[in-house]
Structure 1
Amino acid sequence: MTHLNGKVTLVTGATRGIGKGIAIGLGEAGATVYITGRTLDNTNSEISGSLKDTQAAVEQAGGICIPVTVDHSDDEQVRLLFERIENEQNGQLDLLVNNVFSGVQALRENQRKTFWECEPSLWDATNNVGLRSHYIASIFAARMMVKRQQGLICTISSWGGMSQIFSAAYGAGKAACDRLAADIAVELKPHNIASVSLWPGIVGTEQISQLADEMATENTPDPKNSVFTDHYNWESPLFTGRVIAALTSDANIMRRTGKVQIVAELAQQYGIVDQEGNIPPSLRSLKFLIPAALPSLRKYSSLIPDIKVPWSLLLLTTLKSPQI
């Protein structure tokens, strides 16, 4: 796949996880991929992943990768990042993927606590390098894209913006990500620039895999979390990357602007498969929801129809994320 040859893209927070998978997916399609993160070389064995690791994977997939060390809590570093891209690429930026998120450790440290038992600092730990950094990056990206009257901004969000998972700070942040994508879409539409919010499913990142292993070894595992521990219907990080590559080359992308899009549903529409050749079901599909609620039915999953639950009813589902 080389349909993104000549396209300039930026993925924030790409040392590991979904960000790394997105960068590889764009590389597969032939894009030039700028990636950001705080770790250039992995010199600490306790830290999984680095910008150079991702760069090697993107180049192996066929793309051009340019790693840039950036702390997204520092607005000046972000400004300089976009200034560099503008100078190096003659003002061209076709895609921004707002992915960077640094709240995982804080969420894990406050697991099983109510919001009032947590320190107020949990809000900043969850939403500073996350929601706020998405807003800042979108500003600088829009300034470049408006000059060329084209572009796409994808903001990685979560169904946590609709249904309570992890914490109140997390949920509020993800709901705000969805609203951010929708509101900037209104202002960008006259300039032929699209903005979408993307919901991946359960993605088998390094951290989620570690979490699943921890839950699987618990003395009293919670049955409701079994969907997270047996890898059922997991998506790879590359799956989201392939979908974003398809979005970037979609000539009719403006029909999606301002909307929340579920990664698995876009994959079905574009005919995209995951790295194992499968297409995971949408997280609002009966094929996903019924086995998640009733693990005993998973062996009959092939018989469950792939019917999408309306958004209004999705609020009533019992699907919950594990405590982290």
Structure 2
Amino acid sequence: MTTGSGGPTPVAVVTGASRGAGKGIAIALGESGATVYVTGRSQQPTDSPHGGTIAETAALIDEAGGKGIPVAVDHGDDEAVAELFDQVRRDHGRLDVLVNNAAKVSPVLPGGFWEKPLEAADLINVGLRSHYVASFHAAPLLIANGRGLIVNTGHYGAVAYFHSPAYGAQKAGADKLAADMAKELRPHNVAAVSIWMGGLDTERARAYIDSLPPESRPTARRESPQFTGRVIAALYAADDLMHYSGRAVIGAELGARLGVTDIDGSAPLSLRYELGGPPEPHPTLW
């Protein structure tokens, strides 16, 4: 990951990076040499049944060749988010990349939305509104840098049913945020995109799969959480970064276009047809 002009070490913020997609993205950005601020609520391994802490992720970033900076942040607390970006401003005075990944995901339960706890709608707060708040505070730092990138972690659930109405609304909203923020940021050479991830090999996914009867467990290869981070690093380094601004892109397709492979050297497959993506690119898709 470079600034595209051989400039200073890139600075990134990855929200919700104690585990899962955010953790993998943060590590991959560290592999590219970036300084990565790792946010999340988990400070002890027991804070989540799936383990993981912001300090553990930061240490793995260091091992990967970058610099990890753990910052405990509840992304439902606007003041805490403001303080995070104040810290980035004090430390660096600029920002290269913001990855909006923090989300309050509820367990996947059977039944209709009216039969599940109302807390499922919290995903629209920490997961959509929180993307807006982080971007609000990040934008001046990205603009000050003269070149920047906001990434919302997206999914095919933006256009097809997946998990729940709240999940679909959050993913569709993340795409629209990227599209509209991109329009306002374009004069400042700052891009905004939503990157759709496929099935990920995360702690949560492994626990869910292990809970299924052996005959029901999926066997398809899953993307590593680092793959999307590799795609983000390559996108930011691309000379035509602004070409993608405002779009919702399928990570596997963008990775193929940028020559990015997964950590095992494989090329993840697009699930455009399997998961209901538009058979022809949506206006915000290439």
Return the match for 1:257 from 245, 250, 267: 245
Please provide the CA RMSD for this pair: 2.0
Give 3-state SS (helix, strand or coil) of 1:179's partner: helix
Question: TM-score when scaled to structure 2?
Answer: 0.91
Return the match for 1:278 from 266, 269, 277: 266
Equivalent pairs: percent with the same residue? 44
Cα distance, 1:45 vs. partner? Answer: 7.9
For 1:126-275, what aligned pairs fall within 5 Å after superposition? 126-217=123-214, 221=216, 229-230=218-219, 232-275=220-263
- Whether the 8 Å CA contact 1:11–1:96 is kept in 2: the answer is yes
User: Structure 2: which amino acid aligns with 1:162?
Assistant: V
For 1:70-109, what aligned pairs fall within 5 Å after superposition? 70-89=73-92, 91-103=93-105, 106-108=106-108
Cα distance, 1:21 vs. partner? Answer: 0.5
User: Structure 2: which amino acid aligns with 1:187?
Assistant: E
Give the Cα separation in 1 of the matches to 2:80 and 2:31. Answer: 28
Cα distance, 1:210 vs. partner? Answer: 1.0
Of structures 1 and 2, the larger Rg is shown by 1
User: In the TM superposition, what whole-angstrom CA distance separates every residue of 1:221-246 from its partner, at most 9, and x where no partner exists?
Assistant: 4xxxx5xx21x131000111111110
Give the Cα separation in 1 of the matches to 2:47 and 2:86. Answer: 30
Give the Cα separation in 2 of the matches to 1:121 and 1:49. Answer: 23
Give the Cα separation in 1 of the matches to 2:156 and 2:235. Answer: 20
- Whether the 8 Å CA contact 1:34–1:68 is kept in 2: the answer is yes
Give 3-state SS (helix, strand or coil) of 2:212's partner: helix
User: Structure 2: which amino acid aligns with 1:27?
Assistant: G
Distance 1:133 1:44, change over 3 A: closer
- Whether the 8 Å CA contact 1:107–1:126 is kept in 2: the answer is no
- Whether the 8 Å CA contact 1:115–1:168 is kept in 2: the answer is yes
Structure 2, unaligned runs of 5 or more: none
User: In the TM superposition, what whole-angstrom CA distance separates every residue of 1:119-159 from its partner, at most 9, and x where no partner exists?
Assistant: 44321x22211111101000001122223332100000111
- Whether the 8 Å CA contact 1:29–1:245 is kept in 2: the answer is yes
Cα distance, 1:12 vs. partner? Answer: 0.3
Which residue of structure 2 aligns with residue 25 of structure 1? 28
Give the Cα separation in 1 of the matches to 2:167 and 2:103. Answer: 11
Distance 1:44 1:127, change over 3 A: closer
Cα distance, 1:252 vs. partner? Answer: 1.1
User: Structure 1: which amino acid aligns with 2:263?
Assistant: Q
Give the Cα separation in 1 of the matches to 2:117 and 2:102. Answer: 23
Give the Cα separation in 2 of the matches to 1:29 and 1:79. Answer: 27
- Whether the 8 Å CA contact 2:198–2:251 is kept in 1: the answer is yes
Paired residues in the alignment total: 277
Distance 1:310 1:185, change over 3 A: same
Which residue of structure 2 aligns with residue 112 of structure 1? 110
